[in-house]
Structure 1
Amino acid sequence: MTTQDDTILLFRNTMRITDGHLDRFRDAITQAVDFTHEHGSQLMVQTFVDTEHMLAHSFQLYQDSDAVRAHWKLADPYIQEVMRHCAVVRFEVFGEPDADVADGVRAALGDQTSITFSPRVAGFLRLSAAPPA
């Protein structure tokens, strides 16, 4: 039996920020996240910046592969603007996307990026801070 949790996908994107582009990168990420918050299909987006190493880490949680495809169609201009200020160095997919999304990730990132796919074993999603009583 497939449950809702079985289709969840978590992406972790590690980007090297181009020297001299930190402020422009932050602006582009902020605009992209703001747009995604209003219109996107993600359940969660969080981006963190390690200024010492000029790396950014973006986490995106999707309900399923259809939500990933919807994001790609909607957010391309914002993704392009972010990519003007960084390069993806590692992309991790947690969960099992369908073949179309897996191929799309590989095609978009090419051979220059480390890409890994890790199937889900177990887990849960809690939307409140307090554990159940």
Structure 2
Amino acid sequence: MTTQDNTILLFRNTMRITDGHLESFRGAIARAVEFARQHGPQLMVETFVDEERMLAHSFQLYRDSDAVRVHWRLADPYIREVMEHCRVERFEVYGEPDAEVVAGVRSALGEQCPLTFSSRIAGFVRFAAEPRT
């Protein structure tokens, strides 16, 4: 599948893992990602950990703002479990979400971390299952 849709949104969430919580964090993330894989609207979810700095980076790709709202509605218990083991250190939104999603992200984060929005210029998504020419 290839898309060149202007509604695509990419979220990057940088989390500071609480000291002594690395293994619990890993378990919570694994459960959250598996739930998203089976039930979530995301096109892609990838999470990486920098154990030396106790940081995790989560990337989530959404087709549009509607998909973000579906994710929020479905995944709330999983998000809460992950947040027992970390705090958001930085949140970046790439693309142009609608006003409701912007307000939801701002409300969820409050003043706890920097939040940035970057407008899309151009791009595409190519999944591994797509034949290459």
User: Counterpart of 1:53 in structure 2: which amino acid?
Assistant: R
Q: What's the counterpart of residue 20 of structure 1?
A: 20
Gaps of 5+ in 1: none
Q: Which residue does the alignment assign to 2:90?
A: 90
What TM-score comes out, normalization by structure 1 length?
A: 0.94
Using the aligned pairs only, state the percent identity.
71
Map of 1:33 onto structure 2: 33
SS at the partner of 2:123? Answer: coil
Is the contact between residue 17 and residue 86 of structure 2 (CA under 8 Å) also seen in structure 1?
yes
Alignment of 1:114-129 (within 5 A): 114-128=114-128
Alignment partners' CA distance in 1, 2:70 and 2:86: 23
Counterparts of 2:5 and 2:113 in 1: how far apart (Å)? 28
- Once the 2 structures are TM-superposed, how far is the Cα of residue 128 of structure 1 from its aligned partner? 3.0
**How far off is 1:129 after superposition?**
7.6
Instruction: Report SS of the residue matched to 2:23.
Output: helix
Query: What SS does the aligned partner of 2:125 have?
Result: coil
Between the aligned partners of 1:7 and 1:27, the Cα distance in structure 2 is 32
CA contact (8 A) 2:4 2:123 kept: no
- C-alpha change, 1:132 and 1:78, in structure 2 (3 Å) is same
CA RMSD of aligned residues (A): 1.5
After superposition, the Cα gap between the structure-2 partners of 1:4 and 1:28, relative to the gap in structure 1 and judged at 3 Å, is same
SS at match of 2:73: helix
Tell me by how many angstroms 1:112 deviates. 1.6
Query: Which stretch of structure 1 is more off in the superposition, 123-132 or 21-30?
Result: 123-132
Cα separation, 2, equivalents of 1:26 and 1:116? 26
Q: What is the TM-score with the length of structure 2 in the denominator? A: 0.94
